[in-house]
Amino acid sequence: MLAGEFYRPGDTEISADQAATKAWLVRYNAALALPVSERHALLSERLGHVGAGAVIRPPFFCDFGYNIRLGDGVFLNFNCVILDVVEVSIGDRTQIGPATQIYAADHPRDAETRRSGLESGVRYGSAATSGSAAAPSFYPAWQSGTAR
């Protein structure tokens, strides 16, 4: 997946990783009333990197978590979804509005390959802002801009 190659989403290892993430999500999403520092510690348990001061307001949803990298001061508002079949890197001080959905999964364009059940991932770079209820789907070799 991380190399952008095709994979089978029902693979045993992938299914086990997703089950572990679901269990973590139950804990994280129940933590809304906890102090930000305690939620930050929970994020660090599952995400690939959590920068200083990064905040995700629950509820939050993802496929794996460990493919998500948050820079310093990143803020994701309520009800964000990140389908992280590949690394999703969100740069320092990025602010993402509520109900934003980041889809890093991709599907073959030709019908025969698509019917085989194979999927691939795409890469998402850093972004400066995203409005509420945005649903960007990122295609291979595409990277969003970075605010200066």
Q: How confident is the model at residue 126 (pLDDT cuts 50, 70, 90)?
A: low
Residue 16 phi, psi dihedral angles, 5° rounding? -65, -40
pLDDT averaged over the chain? 81
Lowest-confidence pick of 9-13, 53-57, 121-125, 140-144? 140-144
pLDDT greater than 50 at residue 143: no
Q: Which of the two residues, 31 and 115, has the higher pLDDT score?
A: 31
Q: What is the pTM of this model?
A: 0.78
pLDDT of residue 147: 44
Q: Which residues are catalytic?
A: 107
- Alpha helix (H) residue ranges in the chain: 12-29, 36-46, 111-115
Determine the Cα–Cα distance for residues 105 and 82; give it in Å rounded to an integer: 10
pLDDT of residue 107: 67
CB-based burial of residue 57 (10 Å sphere; 0-12 exposed, 13-18 middle, 19+ buried)? middle
